[in-house]
Structure 1
């Protein structure tokens, strides 16, 4: 996955709409399904826990199906990009210890993976207005820059591919 510049205002607006739609669908859908089940299959004891639970589960399955169906829609472009970026960064984070060890030994793939992680994290944190942690990211970037100088390597996040993580 390559890093792409996206419009922050459009991303935030569309994300808020998607979140609101999901919450609304979950509330209305789960209550609607549960009430329909209670109406069709009343429980003499008055406990309708399982019907309520089934309503929530059915609505969650519907939401997942709808999100996957509309994932490629133009409206979801930025939201999907951030979703995919977070998944990509999580893969790198799980391999971070190995990446840093390999980068310290001059491994170019590891340094490019770290550069991708730092660039992607910076973009993600700026999109979400999470600027408090940027200072620690800048420190990590300086360490990586020093390694690149030491091993005479030009860092480029565009050279990162997730398959490179398997080789470490």
Structure 2
């Protein structure tokens, strides 16, 4: 699967993420209370019926969210979820990627460059700084130097996560 890095306004993302989080939490509370109330009024009061009502509320909230996640106003939040997913995939192979970078493997260089760019973008979108991890900064500089030595562009625009399969075999 090819994933392309996109630019999104951090302030817009944070505002929408807060709004969506509050809306989903509110829906969970309302649906949980509604289902619990319906179940206990129908079958009598029970801790298990209340728990089942909360579980049904969670399922209803999840289903509603699954329907709404493809809406245009969810673009930034959907992008960040996908970015986190792909960064998570790459982070599972970091040790193999680092070894391959020592061997000047271009795919590993692309994946590590994407990883560092994605982490920086995620930090920017969340309003955090990335200057606190000296080890990651040193690795980022090492990858940058290797890319320059091999004549590769300093940044990557997209990655194909199927490239990780080569590192799965170790």
Tell me whether the two structures share a fold, i.e. TM-score over 0.5.
yes
Tell me the CA shift for residue 35 of structure 1. Answer: 1.2
- In structure 1, the partner of 2:9 is 7
Tell me the CA shift for residue 56 of structure 1. Answer: 1.6
Output the CA distance in 2 between the equivalents of 1:132 and 1:111.
20
- In structure 1, the partner of 2:37 is 35
Tell me the CA shift for residue 132 of structure 1. Answer: 5.1
TM-score between both structures, scaled by the size of structure 2: 0.89
Output the CA distance in 2 between the equivalents of 1:164 and 1:132.
26
Question: What secondary structure is seen at the aligned counterpart in 1 of 2:76?
Answer: helix
Runs of 4+ in 1 over 2 A off after TM superposition: 132-140, 146-156
Closer, same or farther in 2 for the Cα pair 1:159/1:72, shift >3 Å?
closer
Contact 1:112 1:155 in 2 (8 A): no
Question: What secondary structure is seen at the aligned counterpart in 2 of 1:72?
Answer: coil
Output the CA distance in 1 between the equivalents of 2:13 and 2:97.
31
Output the CA distance in 1 between the equivalents of 2:159 and 2:10.
24
Unaligned runs of 5+ in 2: none
- In structure 1, the partner of 2:72 is 74
Question: What secondary structure is seen at the aligned counterpart in 2 of 1:25?
Answer: helix
Output the CA distance in 2 between the equivalents of 1:159 and 1:77.
18
**Stretch moving more, 105-114 or 127-136:** 127-136
TM-score between both structures, scaled by the size of structure 1: 0.90
- What is the aligned-residue RMSD (CA, Å)? 1.7
**Stretch moving more, 141-150 or 96-105:** 141-150
Aligned residues: 164
Output the CA distance in 1 between the equivalents of 2:113 and 2:138.
13
- In structure 2, the partner of 1:94 is 92
Output the CA distance in 1 between the equivalents of 2:30 and 2:63.
17
Closer, same or farther in 2 for the Cα pair 1:115/1:132, shift >3 Å?
closer
- In structure 1, the partner of 2:109 is 111
Unaligned runs of 5+ in 1: none
Contact 2:31 2:61 in 1 (8 A): no
Output the CA distance in 2 between the equivalents of 1:67 and 1:113.
31
